[in-house]
């Protein structure tokens, strides 16, 4: 539900913020995003609440106690702060929310029977961050929503709906490889792969943050000088290619030390996986940057959606084949091959 309420909305909103000339326009974009996601969340939450009736093994109380995460996702406009270059503010409030959530876990959770309280405390981190952030926004930025249009979210939603489900399946497909590996190769192979995968996925998240920040710059330049934007995009991609290639080479040589340091000698077989996934990360970062700089920055959401559907489909098919054929190594190679194919399709 959280992925669905974020996917497809935020990148376009960041682009629009970059094009805003006044604070009122920026506030209108924020309001449109909030209202569109809130309206879309109603059927999503309804389906979530009905899940235990169709799948009795799913705990209803656990779902209810996890709802603050959904509410927090709606409240916390990370994209807006990134677009306004207020990443430090975002970091402060995210940290505050997580610290208070951790304190709640210590106070509420005493043993394994307190699983619902643990879910509530854990899922409240984003919700707490969102509440504290809105106090800051009203007091410090003096947002005035009374002067804004409460109907324009409908036209905004018509634009972004193209990428809502494609963005969801593209983001959710990151979890598919581990599911296939667990099914075909068991827990040992899954553990070895996950040890390396969590490192490269964390790096991929940082890359995505950087690329989204740069996208707002490109979108703004595109409005005034397409030729200059094209030149800047080319330079950024060249620098990114160089940095990520060097990073992949560096990762290849330090992977044995990283695995030994973080996980110990029992995870030695994760070394080769991390080396392959280091190359995957380089190609992934380059492909995502191309998609973001060339099409997202230009507002071509139909093209973005096409590549997202393609990504989700290829990962679903080839990660299953790789995991079935050669376990964790086969899956890693399959993911690397998928990135090569996706770049060629661009």
Give CA separation, 121 vs 97, 171, 214, in Å. Answer: 10, 25, 34
* pLDDT, averaged in runs of 10, over the chain (346 residues): 75 85 83 90 86 78 79 82 77 82 76 69 80 76 70 90 90 91 93 94 88 86 88 93 96 95 92 96 95 91 94 95 95 96 92
Question: Which backbone phi and psi does 297 adopt, to 5 degrees?
Answer: -65, -20
Are the beta carbons of 280 and 255 closer than 8 angstroms?
no
Non-local (6+) Cβ contacts of 321 within 8 A are 330, 334
The helices-and-strands tally (H runs, E runs) of the chain is 12, 0
Non-local (6+) Cβ contacts of 8 within 8 A are 160, 161, 162, 163, 164, 165, 166, 167, 168
Alpha-carbon gap, residue 120 to 69, rounded angstroms? 9
Q: Which pLDDT tens digit goes with each residue over 303-336?
A: 999 999 999 999 999 999 999 999 999 999 999 9
Q: Which pLDDT tens digit goes with each residue over 104-162?
A: 777 777 666 666 677 777 778 888 888 888 887 776 555 666 778 888 899 999 999 99
Find the length of the chain.
346
- If one counts every other C-beta atom within 10 angstroms of the C-beta of residue 125, the result is 23
Tokens, residue 331: 């899956």
Alpha-carbon gap, residue 80 to 130, rounded angstroms? 13
């Amino acid at each position: 539900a959280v992925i669905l309420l974020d996917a497809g909305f935020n990148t376009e909103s960041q682009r629009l913020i970059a094009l805003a000339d006044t604070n009122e326009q920026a506030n209108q974009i924020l309001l449109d995003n909030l209202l569109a996601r809130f309206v879309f969340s109603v059927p999503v939450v309804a389906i979530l609440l009905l899940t235990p009736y169709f799948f009795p093994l799913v705990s209803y109380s656990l779902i209810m106690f996890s709802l603050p995460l959904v509410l927090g996702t709606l409240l916390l406009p990370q994209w807006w702060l990134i677009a306004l270059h207020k990443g430090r503010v975002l970091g402060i409030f995210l940290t505050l929310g997580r610290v208070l959530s951790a304190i709640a876990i210590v106070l509420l959770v005493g043993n394994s029977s307190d699983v619902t309280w643990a879910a509530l405390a854990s899922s409240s981190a984003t919700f707490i961050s969102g509440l504290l952030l809105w106090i800051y926004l009203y007091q410090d930025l003096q947002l005035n929503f009374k002067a804004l249009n409460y109907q324009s979210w409908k036209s905004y939603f018509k634009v972004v709906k193209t990428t809502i489900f494609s963005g969801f399946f593209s983001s959710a497909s990151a979890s598919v490889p581990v599911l296939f590996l667990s099914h075909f190769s068991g827990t040992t192979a899954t553990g070895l792969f996950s040890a390396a995968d969590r490192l490269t996925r964390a790096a991929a998240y940082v890359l995505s943050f950087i690329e989204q920040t740069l996208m707002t710059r490109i979108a703004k330049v595109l409005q005034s000088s397409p030729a200059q934007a094209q030149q800047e995009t080319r330079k950024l991609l060249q620098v990114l290619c160089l940095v990520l290639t060097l990073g992949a080479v560096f990762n290849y040589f330090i992977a044995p030390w990283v695995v030994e340091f973080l996980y110990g000698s029992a995870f030695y077989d994760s070394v080769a996986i991390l080396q392959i996934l280091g190359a995957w990360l380089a190609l992934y970062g380059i492909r995502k940057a191309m998609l973001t700089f060339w099409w997202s920055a230009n507002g071509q959401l139909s093209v973005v959606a096409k590549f997202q559907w393609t990504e989700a489909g290829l990962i679903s098919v080839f990660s299953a084949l790789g995991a079935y054929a050669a376990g964790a190594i086969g899956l890693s190679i399959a993911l690397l091959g998928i990135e090569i194919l996706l770049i060629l399709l661009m």
